[in-house]
Amino acid sequence: MNQIRDIIIIRLDGLGDMILWLSSLQHLRQVYHHRHITVMIHDAWAPFLANLNMVDDVIPIPFISNMQSFKKKRFYHLRFIILLLQVSWWARQWRAAMVIHPTHARTLLSDLLATLIRSPIRWGVLGNQNNEWKKIQWIPGLRFKDMNQRYTHRVTGNPHMMVLPLNAHVTSTITAQPMAPSIINLREGITTSPVSPPYIVWCPQAGDSRREWPLEKWEMVLTGLPIPIIVVGIGQASVLLKKMIQRLASNGQVLMDWLGQTTLSELANIISHASLFLGNESGLTHLASALQIPSIMIIGGGHYSTYAPYVGVNGGPTVCKYELPCYGCNWRCHHKNYQSNQAYPCINMVDPNWVRQQIYQHLPRPTN
């Protein structure tokens, strides 16, 4: 049976990308307030988006997790082709009056969904050939430029533009209503935290382990902080992280390990009552900004000024960096000290003393 919708929006990228796009979704909701809007999104973020009550329908897409799970398994090419056939069959079951694919860093999976759903109007963004496309040139007939032609309406995006202005440009073009770049305010609807403030929320993780500031440097800046720390993230703490937590606890530091123990919505409630958020360039750091919480972000040069800092936009994290001449490398590191099993040099070289200074500037002052 065909699944029929009015407007379908495809958004299958990471948590940080979604958070930075939510102001655009808010604008789409305001312009198309009389229409039914369905968002197809990464299954991991679907419950969180549904709880925001910004759209009429949220459809989780499980194919993303399937694709990630067999990247290093045997018969990868065969598994990949089978997955593409499954996605193609599933997409053709849907019909819509309009499909919007506002992602500038497109992937094959999102392109297939956006162009195979039967619709007379398909919006797509040109200008950024995602890395995934470069890995599938062995599949006949699938080329980035060919996919471009499947969109009936196309927005030309500048891949060097910061994400928030780029999102606003794409959304303004689609709706024909001007939109100013902004980070969404998610303070509304926040409930109480299960932990009594004051406290700091710290996430040591990032989407790529090489973009994570080394734990020994985090330990240097966290030692002796006069405020409890909640450790958050995905999955269980690593052996190294557990040992670090034990060392800090033995020195009298109050740490609570909540890694992998909360949903994204529950985590948003915890972050929203924090005095400060500490993290790498990750989705949770962007979430802290959307929740209007002061945050400190350890950032490298791969995508510097693309996702952070928020140039020309109020709010955003305080960035701690060590700027090198090779900034803007798109994480194709050629630094002489680069080792693939360690943090990128531009991240590893961030000064702990500077980070600690920034933390103390944001801590609540003791009351007499």
CATH number of 332's domain: 3.40.50.2000
Q: Rounded to whole angstroms, how far apart are CA atoms 217 and 280?
A: 12
Quick: pLDDT tens for 231-252.
999 888 888 999 999 999 888 8
For residue 322, the enclosing domain spans 200-362
359 contacts 221 by C-beta, under 8 angstroms: yes
Q: Which two tokens stand for residue 3?
A: 């699944």
Q: Does residue 241 sit in the same domain as residue 328?
A: yes
Boundary residue ending a domain (115, 141, 175): 175
Q: Does residue 341 sit in the same domain as residue 204?
A: yes
Q: Does residue 164 sit in the same domain as residue 217?
A: no
Among 140-149, 270-279, 320-329, 333-342, which stretch is predicted with the lowest mean pLDDT? 140-149
Q: Rounded to whole angstroms, how far apart are CA atoms 156 and 166?
A: 10
Burial of 212 (0-12, 13-18, 19+ CB in 10 A): buried
pLDDT of residue 158 exceeding 90, the answer is no
One-letter amino acid for residue 324 of the chain? L
**Model confidence, pTM:** 0.91
Would you say residue 120 lies in a domain? yes
Q: Rounded to whole angstroms, how far apart are CA atoms 190 and 115?
A: 37
Q: Does residue 37 sit in the same domain as residue 154?
A: yes
Write down the H helix ranges in 194-323. 215-222, 239-250, 264-272, 283-290
Q: Which two tokens stand for residue 186?
A: 């998610």
Terminal C-alpha separation, the chain? 68
pLDDT of residue 80 exceeding 80, the answer is no
Q: Does residue 70 sit in the same domain as residue 161?
A: yes
Walk across the sheet containing 37-42 and list its strands.
57-61, 37-42, 3-11, 94-100, 122-126, 153-156
Q: Does residue 224 sit in the same domain as residue 111?
A: no
309 contacts 338 by C-beta, under 8 angstroms: no
Among 118-132, 192-206, 299-313, 333-347, which stretch is predicted with the lowest mean pLDDT? 118-132
42 contacts 61 by C-beta, under 8 angstroms: yes
Nearest CA to 171 out of 194, 150, 155 is that of 155
The β-bridge partners of 203 are: 279
Nearest CA to 150 out of 105, 115, 123, 126 is that of 115
Q: Does residue 162 sit in the same domain as residue 233?
A: no
Q: Does residue 167 sit in the same domain as residue 233?
A: no
Q: Does residue 222 sit in the same domain as residue 112?
A: no
Boundary residue ending a domain (117, 142, 175): 175
296 contacts 316 by C-beta, under 8 angstroms: no
Helix (H, G, I), strand (E, B) or coil at 1: coil
Q: Does residue 252 sit in the same domain as residue 313?
A: yes
Kindly indicate the confidence band of residue 189, based on its pLDDT and cuts at 50, 70 and 90. Answer: confident
Average pLDDT over residues 249-261: 90
| b/e burial code for range 294-333 (CB count within 10 A of at least 16 → b) | bbbbbbbbbbbbbbbbbeebeebbbbbbbebebeebeeeb
Would you say residue 102 lies in a domain? yes
Average pLDDT over residues 42-66: 89
Q: Count up the domains in the chain and report the number.
A: 2
Instruction: Give the pLDDT confidence score for residue 356 in this predicted structure.
Output: 95
Would you say residue 191 lies in a domain? no
Would you say residue 181 lies in a domain? no
